[in-house]
């Protein structure tokens, strides 16, 4: 790690004396080199302190050009020293003036201080600085590792403190789970495209961006796929020690997420077993398991909700349910059931109130039972399944069994099969156009009363009778048969209800 010029000037063993302070731009000392050629810049790198005994004979203009070249080569400082001949008893005034004009720090090396002593002090200080920084990074990495044993938040707090910046944990959906400090959460909002790029590139990728003066790095968390993201930012540019700390945080958070995932899988199995016990009528055993899981069942009356979410949204769905129940201080049970998430929730509680919003946000289908006691859960499950089966995107994603059970038998049937059946039944009618379908619909809905149906269509009843006679020739159903008319009415209603989807 580079040291500062101040470190050399303050070392009393060297006896260096500052002649020109230079500009206010603090520049590091990466090495100390000596040269007496008239243009040493081809042999120099940025950050070098150049020592010279001024063996070259240069006039004021040449001296100015010499100093200007040093400044352009990003030399940190120039040290003037005396050789053994005693030809100079002070620093040339032309050199001092040029250093002032170009803002280059200039210091005097006394006769009794050899250049090698300056080099040795600089090397020792750089070594000590590098060791101190390595030790600090190692301790910070240990702190991150210990913090991971407690949870995600301590890791983020420790990382943000060590970086003198901020850090945020993002879930697989791109939402902020935790941020340190909390005010850093909004800084993640402009990074959605970068998160998507990480998601596509996999767990071994990373992204570095600069937004609003913040230097930001993004890393995926996960061994096989991105199960979350770590985002860290700070005002200072990134250097190897800081990036090393971020790498450590990525490693410990990935391990933590993997462990949490294994724990969640075990808890899921326990909750599923609890639901099986409740359905089998073993209420006390189910209560005992919930106690061991530091959870409790909802109070009666309750509803059973079934949610079917898109792939990858299950964990977010479970977390949202848990948060809603926690806000309402109410018990709940969420368990996997035949590819859906079964949620037991207290009727009219916080969870039940928020569940439709959660389902909509995560694009999940939701089917809910009628209110029941825990002893009636098998019936509740059957009702919730019937409601979920009738749900379909995009127009009917949230279905309550109480609505379905009030005369909407078509909603209980599989949509594609119903449409195929309706099309085959109504093919002769559909072939004659919309006017024929409207005539049949009005006739059936008014129970075969021609006068009422004709009035709705605004035609004479004889006109309607003629249309129906033409329809009857192609139909396999008898319009004078109540049972045939009932079947036709179902077909017509199914076809008309599904019209926006065709």
Burial class (CB in 10 A: 0-12, 13-18, 19+), 88: middle
Torsional sign, CA 466, 471, 473, 479: negative
**2: pLDDT strictly greater than 80:** no
Please give the order of strands across the beta sheet that includes 166-171: 176-180, 166-171, 228-234, 214-221, 207-211
DSSP state of 396: B
Average pLDDT estimate for 58-76: 91
pLDDT at residue 500, rounded to an integer: 41
Q: How confident is the model at residue 63 (pLDDT cuts 50, 70, 90)?
A: very high
The whole-number average pLDDT for the span 290-301 is 81
Whether the pLDDT of residue 393 is over 50: the answer is yes
pLDDT value, residue 415: 57
Kindly state the percentage of the chain with pLDDT values over 90: 16
pLDDT at 407 over 50: no
In the chain, the domains with their CATH numbers are 3-123 (3.40.1390.20), 149-258 (3.30.450.30), 296-412 (3.30.70.270), 415-501 (1.10.10.2840)
Q: Give pLDDT tens digits for 138-154.
A: 777 777 777 666 677 88
When pLDDT is averaged across residues 365-388 and rounded to a whole number, the result is 88
**3-class secondary structure, 122:** helix
Q: Which of 66-70, 87-91, 254-258, 473-477 has the highest mean pLDDT?
A: 66-70
Confidence of residue 26 (pLDDT cuts 50, 70, 90): low
pTM of the complete model:
0.41
Give yes or no for residue 347 having a pLDDT over 60.
Answer: yes
The DSSP secondary structure of 149-184, one letter per residue, reads TT-HHHHHHHHHHHHTSEEEEEETTS-EEEEESGGG
CA distance 126 to 38: 29
Quickly state the pLDDT bin for 19 (edges 50, 70, 90): very high
Pick from 24-38, 206-220, 367-381: least confident: 24-38
Of 80-89, 110-119, 239-248, the poorest mean pLDDT is in: 80-89
- Pairing type for strands 77-81 and 48-52 reads parallel
Question: How many residues comprise the chain?
Answer: 502
- HSE (side-chain half, CA atoms, 13 Å) at 334: 22
- What's the pLDDT band for 337 if we cut at 50, 70, 90? confident
Please give the angle made by the CA atoms of 317, 321 and 325, to the nearest 5 degrees: 170
| Tens digits of residue pLDDT in 96-124 | 999 999 999 999 999 889 999 999 998 88
What mean pLDDT comes out for the span 74-103?
88
Q: For residue 1, with 0-12 CB atoms within 10 Å meaning exposed, 13-18 middle and 19 or more buried, which class applies?
A: middle
- pLDDT at 329 (0 to 100): 82
The average confidence (pLDDT) of the chain is 83
């Amino acid at each position: 790690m580079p040291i500062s010029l101040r470190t050399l000037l303050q070392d009393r063993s060297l006896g260096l004396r500052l002649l020109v302070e230079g500009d206010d731009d603090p520049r590091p000392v990466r090495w100390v080199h000596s040269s007496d050629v008239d243009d040493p810049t081809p042999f120099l790198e940025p950050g070098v302190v150049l020592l010279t005994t001024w063996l070259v004979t240069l006039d004021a203009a040449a001296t100015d050009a010499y100093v200007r070249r040093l400044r352009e080569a990003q030399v940190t400082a120039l040290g003037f020293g005396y050789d053994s001949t005693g030809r100079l008893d002070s620093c040339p005034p032309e050199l001092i003036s040029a250093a002032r004009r170009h803002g280059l720090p200039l210091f005097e090396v006394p006769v009794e201080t050899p250049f090698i002593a300056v080099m040795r002090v600089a090397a020792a200080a750089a070594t000590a600085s590098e060791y101190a920084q390595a030790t600090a990074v190692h301790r910070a990495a240990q702190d991150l590792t210990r913090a991971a044993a407690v949870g995600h938040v301590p890791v983020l707090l420790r990382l943000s403190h060590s970086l003198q910046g901020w850090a945020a944990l993002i879930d697989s959906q791109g939402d902020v789970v935790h941020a340190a400090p909390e005010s850093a959460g909004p800084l993640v909002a402009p990074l959605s495209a970068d998160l998507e790029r990480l998601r596509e590139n996999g767990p071994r990728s990373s992204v570095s961006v600069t937004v609003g003066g913040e230097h930001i790095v993004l890393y995926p968390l996960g061994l096989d796929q991105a199960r979350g993201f770590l985002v860290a930012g700070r005002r200072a540019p990134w250097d190897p020690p800081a990036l090393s700390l971020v790498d450590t945080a990525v490693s410990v958070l990935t391990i933590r997420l993997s462990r949490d995932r294994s724990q969640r899988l075990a808890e899921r199995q326990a909750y599923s077993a609890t639901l099986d016990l409740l359905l089998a009528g073993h209420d006390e055993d189910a209560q005992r398991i919930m106690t061991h899981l530091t959870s409790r069942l909802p109070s009666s009356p309750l509803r059973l909700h079934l949610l079917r979410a898109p792939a990858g949204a299950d964990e977010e769905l479970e977390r949202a349910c848990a948060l809603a129940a926690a806000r309402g201080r109410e018990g709940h049970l969420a368990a996997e059931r035949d590819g859906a998430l079964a949620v037991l929730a207290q009727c009219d509680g916080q969870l039940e109130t928020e569940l439709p919003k959660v389902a909509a946000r995560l694009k999940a289908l939701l089917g809910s039972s009628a209110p029941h006691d825990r002893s009636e859960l098998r019936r509740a499950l059957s009702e919730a399944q019937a409601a979920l089966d009738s749900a379909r995107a995009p127009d009917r994603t949230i279905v309550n069994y109480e609505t379905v059970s009030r005369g909407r038998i078509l909603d209980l049937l599989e949509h594609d099969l119903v449409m195929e059946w309706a099309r085959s039944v109504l093919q002769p009618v559909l072939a004659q156009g919309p006017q024929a379908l409207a005539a049949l619909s009005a006739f059936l809905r008014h129970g075969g009363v021609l006068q009422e149906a004709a009035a709705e269509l605004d035609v004479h009843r004889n006109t309607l009778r003629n249309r129906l006679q033409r329809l009857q020739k192609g139909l396999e159903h008898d319009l004078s048969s109540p049972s045939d008319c009932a079947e036709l009415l179902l077909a017509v209603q199914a076809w008309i209800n599904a019209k926006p989807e065709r």
